[in-house]
Structure 1
Amino acid sequence: MRLESLFSSTDSSRSYIIDNSTTTWREAQSFCRQYHTDLISVRNQTDNQLIHNIINDTEASVWIGLFSDEWEWEWSDNNDSAFRNWRSGQPNKIGDSEDCTEVRMNDQGQWNDAPCSDSNTFVCHEDELILIHKNRSWTEAVRYCRENHVDLVSVDSEKIQRWVKAAVHEASTAEVWLGLRHSCSVGIWFWVNGEIACYQNWAPGNETAVDDCEREVRSGAVQSGGDHLWISLPESKQLNFICTRKDK
């Protein structure tokens, strides 16, 4: 019987799922990908401390998503985080078979390379939002999200805006598409989820589009830097975009 515990972040769309059963690294990876998003990628000391704080067993070793392809270490979910918290002398790849990474609770959460065939508990992560590093028009972004995930993100609350802010800092474009569009016929902005844009975070002068109705349809994007305000842009502009992974 599997026993899972769920811990949510207040500042991002990421949740963490601890599975208290023990299994190999590959089986843990497969389980996380099937039922959640992937094995956890540890992006910084805050993430690492979170694992240390939420694991009750001080003698446990816990799989994370870092593995070795020969001598290159990479994350299972393709995260590009360079953060590492190895124990002194690690990784040492004894016998050239220690290709997976465990967090040891009795070593203050430091990491050890271990054979992937060992059995450990593990931590999955689950993201409600995903930043897509592809440049697409607004319409193409909607199609991509609906075919591969759920939809372009609708930022209908301050909470979702915080999640978006956490997601866009890795974008490769100055703005990132949201699921926001302007209707010239009725003069309103609306979300792809069908809601009128009541919660708003516009940069000054961007929320009105009366003068643009004779030209190309305008859609909403968020700044990937600065104050992460919303910008009105022609829908043909090629930008990164954010999809939702789960229905509300």
Structure 2
Amino acid sequence: MQWSLFLLVLLGQCCFFTCRLYEYHFIAENKSCRLRNSTQNQGEAWIGLNNNTGGNRTWHWSLPGVEYIQNDSSWNQNGRTDNELPGNCVRKRDKLVDVLCDSTMWFICYSDKKTLYLIPTLMNWTEAQSYCRSNHTDLASGLDQVDGKEIEALMKSKNSSFRAWIGLFRDSWRWSDGSDFSFRYWDMELFNDTQSNKKCAMTLLNRSGKWSSDECDKEKPFFCYDDKLILIKENKTWEEALDYCRKSHRNLASITNPQEQGWVQDKASNASSPFVWLGLRYSCTLDLWFWVNDKLVCYEKWSKEGKTEECGRAVGMQRGGQYEWM
């Protein structure tokens, strides 16, 4: 069955859904990341990311929610050119090779419309990632993208020495709740991953919320969250799911940034239905999509076939794959 037809059938029936109860809490007390007594520090707050891993690095895809699965046939560790050294960022030619992240080369971006774009501008990996996130969605991520026919066509259009960044990197940072969420928002002017004594991450409240790191024994305000995002394993229509969440919890889940996308898809992966309902619907009166908590749609992760601006439409997230919206 084609996806467009499957969508029409699905959204007229029922699926699992996610209710939201968790909230973020900014604690305006200065504490160290190990909760010792405080010293005054303005404009910074601890988040739950740390580098107390003994240097053990793990591979991640730049696009949040894409799981890294080792596939040796995609790699060629002996494929570096004479001037390339092993590193923690990955570029592609015929195969994948890890090289120094400060190297400069062209790169390949991915958009939510499932389109790849070759950007013929020399940048290091971090600069390339920032460009893709600002102008498209992210660096090409996932083996279905970087080993697919579209990227193969891009590579064949260039000569044999052509190489380009993709969205694969490794680092030793881990989230305190044990999640494998890959999103990073470092302020590269202030962050230095080689500063071995700065092993706890903080958000820079006066620099657009970007992140840096500091010594864990220093004391700062901090953010907590209550993990009360719940997968309801009952099949209901969207209206029934909305009513259930509002009566029994708080609301259907809304997603306004990549971090929330990652948390919701962690829950969605445990569903047995093909999709889970989200709190997003289309208003014919206002001619726009909006969340049931009245927030506008600023972050999106639509599938190519999934956005249909018609009356009576609500949105489900795929329970696997790219966890896209339909």
TM-based fold match above 0.5: no
Give the TM-score range, shorter chain.
Answer: 0.3 to 0.5
Between the two structures, name the one with larger relative contact order (CA 8 Å, sep ≥ 6).
2
